[in-house]
Chain A
Amino acid sequence: MRHRILVVDDSSSLVLSLAELLKYNGFEVETALSGTEALHKIETEDYDLVICDIEMPGMSGLEFLSHVRKDYEKEIDVILMTGYEDKEYFIEAIRNGAADFIRKPIDSKQMMRSIQTILNRKKRRNDFSEFYNNLEKAEFHFELDPRNFSKFAVSEVFHKFLRQNFDLTHNALNEILICVDEMVYNAYIHGTLGLNVQERVMDHNALQKIINERLQQPEIASKRICFHFSICHKTQTIKITVEDDGPGFDYENWIKKVTNEHKLNLEENGRGIAMLYHLSDKLEFEKEGRTVTISKKLPVNKK
């Protein structure tokens, strides 16, 4: 997979020429014409590196950098660029954690060297990908106390783990994340909390109140959600299993319904199963429906 770079500058001609240069050098490039647009982009897409101008109307490059550091800590490296020779800028950029600082007009060779150094450093810093990608099989397992469920967005934690360590296409990654979200959320809402349809469709505050009340009950608080992930490079398959301590459900009937459904379903049940069925290559249930497993064949490439 190619590295993704976001180029940010209020000058559209500079953005275009930098984008062309980076694409020519094998990078996947996106552009933004302001700090605000760039923040939206990094919230919704993953980038390995951002190259951002300091002097922009509205949010400056330094303000943008400070937002990135606050919200994303060290995950996204930012190179700042400026046309001015002001040492104060330089010092502030370094204090705010800029990965590098380049001057305009841009020296393309110097910029490419800087990018390569940063990407190599990033790889050494947080990267077990080479290790994971050379294993025949990798797996991990965790158990979640439902009282801590709302503290973490499991699919987001998993997103970072997969993105950092495995070279998956964006499409495959999105589909896996939606499956994880469906499986874990169902284990929580149905298997653990036992919420019914009327409760599930309540507004956020009312639903949170019910969830908090349920979690006070010892028999609910003692339940656990188990998550198991494995990736096998030999078969190029990812397998994810989620198990809850609930009563299970009539999964055979639901599978039958999902596979034979030719009409639009406006009911509030079964949509999650339909999505798991369509987004995975194999969907299996065990233990009266308390355990759900999806398998997905993947084009996993070595980084």
Chain B
Amino acid sequence: MNIELSINGKVAKMKIEGILNSENAYLLQEKLTEVLNSEATLLELDLLDCRNISSTGIGKIVLFYKDFITKGGEIEVVRSSNSVYELFSMLKLNQLFTVNLG
């Protein structure tokens, strides 16, 4: 699993590749904390090369979301793989933020 994060003013871009599981979810948590501590108010998530996410990984995103919206932040999944898109739809996370496929 690999995470690339770039923060440019109000926009943070994060690209996750591979499988996000319970073993590596803490790496996502660390990157999300960086975003939370920055000026960014929009997090663009690129999950096209993310093959799947475990519930621990989803938990980190949801926890981040709760903190991020209190500072006026927004999340958008700009691209996602089929499996991640289905997972987000199944867990109804697309009710929280926009999730784009492909």
Interface members, chain B 79-94 (any A CB < 8 Å): 82-83, 87, 90-93
New A-B pairs, 6, CB < 8 Å, besides A174-B83, A266-B66, A275-B55: A43-B18, A177-B21, A177-B52, A178-B21, A182-B54, A274-B91
| A94 interface hit (Cβ, 8 Å) | no
* A209 touches B (CB below 8 Å): no
* Chain B 1-51 interface residues, beta-carbon cutoff 8 Å to A: 1-2, 17-19, 21-23, 26, 29-30, 33, 49, 51
Chain B residues, CB < 8 A from A263 = 92
Contact with B along A254-277 (1 / 0, CB 8 A): 000000000111101001101100
Cβ-based interface call for B59 (8 A): yes
Instruction: Check A44 against B51 for contact (C-beta < 8 Å).
Output: yes
Q: Among the listed B2, B30, B54, which residue makes an inter-chain contact with A178, where contact means beta carbons less than 8 Å apart?
A: B54
- Closest B residue to A275 by beta carbon equals B55
* A85 adjacent to chain B (CB < 8 Å): no
Distance A44 CA – B20 CA, assembled complex (angstroms) = 10
A181/B18 in contact, CB under 8 A: no
A264 touches B96 (CB 8 A): yes
Taking a contact as CB atoms closer than 8 A, the residue among B21, B29, B54 that contacts A203 in the complex is B29
Mask of A152-171 contacts with B, CB within 8 angstroms, 1/0? 01011000000000000011
- Rounded to whole Å, the gap between the CB of B85 and the closest CB of chain A is 13
CB neighbours (8 Å) of B83 from chain A are 171, 174-175
Q: Which 5 residue pairs spanning A and B have beta carbons closest together?
A: A44-B18, A204-B26, A185-B22, A272-B55, A271-B55
Determine whether the beta carbon of B95 is less than 8 Å from that of A264.
yes
* A266 touching B52, Cβ below 8 Å: no
Contact A153 B2 (CB under 8 A): no
Chain A residues near B17 (CB, 8 Å)? 40, 43-44
Judging by beta carbons under 8 Å apart, are B21 and A181 in contact? yes
A271, B58: Cα distance in complex, Å: 8
Q: Which of chain B's residues have a CB closer than 8 A to the CB of A181?
A: 21-23, 54, 56
Cβ–Cβ contact A265 & B91, under 8 A: yes
The count of chain B contact residues (Cβ–Cβ below 8 Å) is 33
Q: Which A residue sits closest to B84, measured CB to CB?
A: A174
CA distance A43 to B51 in the complex (A): 12
Which A residues touch B51, using CB under 8 A?
44, 170, 174
User: In the complex, what distance in Å separates the CA atom of A263 from the CA atom of B95?
Assistant: 9
Q: Which size bracket describes the interface of A in this complex? A: 20 to 34
CA distance A171 to B84 in the complex (A): 11
Would you list 29 pairs from A and B whose C-beta atoms are within 8 A, ordered by A residue? A40-B2, A40-B17, A43-B18, A44-B1, A44-B18, A44-B51, A155-B21, A171-B83, A177-B21, A178-B19, A178-B52, A178-B54, A181-B21, A181-B54, A182-B22, A185-B54, A185-B56, A200-B59, A201-B63, A263-B92, A264-B93, A264-B96, A265-B92, A266-B62, A266-B66, A271-B55, A272-B54, A272-B55, A275-B87
A43 touches B21 (CB 8 A): no
- CB nearest to A39 among chain B residues: B2
- In the complex, how many angstroms separate the beta carbon of B68 from the nearest chain A beta carbon? 13
Q: How far is the CB of A13 from chain B (nearest CB, A)?
A: 24
B52 interface neighbour in A45, A175, A203, A207, Cβ under 8 Å: A175
Name the CB-closest residue of A to B87. Answer: A275
Bound: A178/B96 CA distance, A = 23
Q: Roughly how many angstroms separate A200 CA and B18 CA in the complex, as a whole number?
A: 23
**Proximity bits, A263-303, B CB within 8 Å = 1, else 0:** 11110100110110010000000000000000000000000
Beta-carbon contacts under 8 Å, A136-191 to B: 153, 155-156, 170-171, 174-175, 177-178, 181-182, 185
